[in-house]
Amino acid sequence: VLQLHRASCLEKLGDQAAMIAANLQSRLARTSFDKNCFQSVCERPHLECAAEMVLPLVCNPGHVCITDESLYFQPLNGYPVRGWRTNLKPALSAARGTGDSHQTSRRQEDLQAAARPQTLENHVTEHTAESYMLQWQRGLLSNYQYLLHLNNLADRSCNDLSQYPVLPWIIADYSSGQLDMTNPATFRDLSKPVGALNPERLDRLLSRYTAMPEPRFMYGSHYSSPGYVLFYLVRVAPEHMLCLQNGRYDHPDRMFSSISETWKNCLEGATDFKEVV
């Protein structure tokens, strides 16, 4: 704590970050995984190394350990907390994790090699877009499950807001009291990105692109970003919005309030090309 206080007193942000990083690496080198956290006394460790648990807007450093039965992640800041009347529990936990961001490719390969023999016998071994499509066509996967599998193949994760799973707009009619499922106009054209769905807006974008100096770009924003993700999830995870906006919510006029208005803005807005999450 004293070293963190000293780092906060430095004038330059670069010096602060360097001192914090040095302190972090020193603590990682001086600590190791606490094997008392194994779920069974019969477990045998195969590999242990430093890693980071990637969560929305936070990367938590610690140690990962692979045994013949489980995969554990132990956070570096997981010190026991004395139980007071507030019923605080020890922060140290052994978690079966899948969101580890490995510091080097070599360490990642070692982890994958150690975890591979522990694969369950009944685990599906074929993870391809074609296999998921066949399961979806046969009714074995719902639309939502199929899209999540495709996002997983694209290395997208709910633990990373910058690579959050993308679910495309499907319905294009938000004014009718009852949807006509036989009318093609009810659905969005999935062969085009959001920015190309409105011909008039696309013509304006192409004109701007032609008159633009190098380097040129078509769209001024992405179809998914941390801000867009939290736009939809602000009521589910308000703490993430406060973290992203430095302790404040966005302007009320820019907060999510209506799916139909959001679709209209994505279809007609000059800078809004986001998909759904």
- Which of 104, 138, 154 corresponds to the end of one domain? 154
For the segment 180-212, what is each residue's pLDDT rounded down to a tens digit? 999 999 999 999 999 999 999 999 999 999 999
pLDDT value at residue 122 = 43
Q: Is residue 111 over pLDDT 90?
A: no
Q: Is 117 part of any domain?
A: no
Rounded Cα–Cα distance for residues 30 and 24 (Å): 10
Per DSSP, the residues of 71-107 read: EEEEETT-------TT----S---B--S-EE-SSHHH
* SS3 category, 187: strand
Query: At 247, is the pLDDT very low, low, confident or very high (cuts 50, 70, 90)?
Result: confident
Query: At 101, is the pLDDT very low, low, confident or very high (cuts 50, 70, 90)?
Result: very low
**Whether 267 contacts 198, CB under 8 Å:** yes
Global confidence as pTM = 0.64
Same-domain status, 4 and 75? no
Same-domain status, 202 and 222? yes
pLDDT value at residue 123 = 45
Same-domain status, 42 and 24? no
Same-domain status, 141 and 201? no
Q: Is 142 part of any domain?
A: yes
Q: Residue 12: give the domain boundaries.
A: 1-30
Count of domains observed in the chain: 4
For the segment 263-273, what is each residue's pLDDT rounded down to a tens digit? 999 999 989 99
Rounded Cα–Cα distance for residues 80 and 92 (Å): 6
Q: Is 104 part of any domain?
A: no
